[in-house]
Amino acid sequence: RKEVEQDPGPFNVPEGATVAFNCTYSNSASQSFFWYRQDCRKEPKLLMSVYSSGNEDGRFTAQLNRASQYISLLIRDSKLSDSATYLCVVSPYNQGGKLIFGQGTELSVKP
Amino acid sequence: EAGVTQFPSHSVIEKGQTVTLRCDPISGHDNLYWYRRVMGKEIKFLLHFVKESKQDESGMPNNRFLAERTGGTYSTLKVQPAELEDSGVYFCASRGLASSDEQFFGPGTRLTVL
């Protein structure tokens, strides 16, 4: 079983749509949680950290449920430029900050 | 400020040959990580340096892989001899001292072993 599981998609949505991605992780000792964005043939870039209280950055909202070991990302009012692969990432406690990646969810926003 | 740089951007070699990948982290970043993405799979951790010391090399696939960070600045990852299954994209990332600091990734080296 993978440590971080995501639906690979692809998610094909029209501009302006709201789309939600989910992710589960298996290691209950995971300490930090992130969503990264990766454009085709580029490096991953941090989109946002995820906190138990939930956090929002513009059109993006991330949520963490530690009891269910579940992380979500909501994108409102999708733009063409949101098309990318979204990586769910966890960092285990006391392991030097190493990152454990999910396989990624591909999003394609169409006009 | 310059980001993480990696060299080469692409490398095509034959099975059995040796390849050395280089990573230059952001200046002042003590933490340096290597990751690899094999086609169709998730990005996987290989190892972690703090300055010149290997903190965690639990992700290194086997003893054909050797990573170094002499002087605590740039790092190299050597694959010798390369096998077909070593093909993939090798990413380097660096992070500052605080555990809450963001990891910044380099553009990756795309390695193809024929």
**Contacts with B, A 60-99, CB within 8 Å:** 87, 95-99
Task: State how far the Cα of B77 lies from the Cα of B18, in Å rounded to an integer.
Answer: 11
Structure tokens at A6: 């995501």
**A-chain residues near B105 (CB < 8 A):** 43-45
**Residue contact B48–A96, C-beta within 8 A:** yes
Q: Secondary structure of chain A: what % helix, strand, coil (to 5)?
A: 5, 55, 40
Query: Could you report the per-residue pLDDT of A12-59, keeping only the tens digit for each?
Result: 999 999 999 999 999 888 889 999 999 999 999 999 999 888 899 999
Query: Could you report the per-residue pLDDT of B1-49, keeping only the tens digit for each?
Result: 689 999 999 999 999 999 999 999 999 999 999 999 999 899 999 999 9
Task: State how far the Cα of B42 lies from the Cα of A3, in Å rounded to an integer.
Answer: 10
Residues 6+ apart with CB under 8 A from A101: A4, A36, A44, A87, A88, A89, B35, B42, B43, B44
**Contacts with A, B 7-26, CB within 8 Å:** none
